[in-house]
Amino acid sequence: MNCSFEAFAGRKIPALYETKHNGKEAEFYADLLSHLLKNKLSRKGKLVLNIVSRGKATKNANLQLAREKARHRNKGKAETTNVLFNVLNHRVEPLLNVADYFCWSVQRVLERGEVRYYNFLQDQISLVVDLYDSANYRNSGNYYTPKNPLTAANKL
């Protein structure tokens, strides 16, 4: 399939989760989504995000919170992108299963150090950012691309 994929991974570090996200999954989700959106708000045109329905995390107010956080992170650049959120059931939109498989392949690397699924998709995974990977951020960076891929050493 001709597609590309970007992911922002966040570890649920208890102290950080409690202080930064008030111990709420919806706030955690909004924070991660804002990182995905921030560099796309100043592109011209329309951005349609098809999102799998996941309880309170994907309610309209929380998606708008993610957009507001992205605006703030975008450091005052003019917003020229019209962002539209479509919250769907994965049974209605089969392409959401493709995104889920990409997420699963990244999760396998981070949780188990298993790279075979990630390696299969690596050319289509344009970016993975492990937001709270402070050890690698200091050394080699926490941005992973086809030229700097995730490896078994990224296992948490």
Summarised one tens digit per residue, pLDDT across range 113-123 is: 999 999 999 99
CA 128/CA 7 separation, integer angstroms: 5
Using alpha carbons only, what angle is made at residue 22 by residues 50 and 47, rounded to the nearest 5 degrees?
20
What confidence tier does 142 reach under pLDDT thresholds 50, 70, 90?
Answer: confident
Domain count, the chain: 1
pLDDT in tens, 34-45: 999 998 998 889
Secondary-structure percent of the chain, ordered helix, strand, coil, rounded to 5: 50, 20, 35
Residue numbers of the domain that contains 97: 5-154
Res 2: pLDDT: 86
Farthest-apart Cα atoms in the chain, separation? 43
Q: What SS3 class is residue 82? A: strand
Residue 65's φ and ψ, nearest 5 degrees, are -60, -45
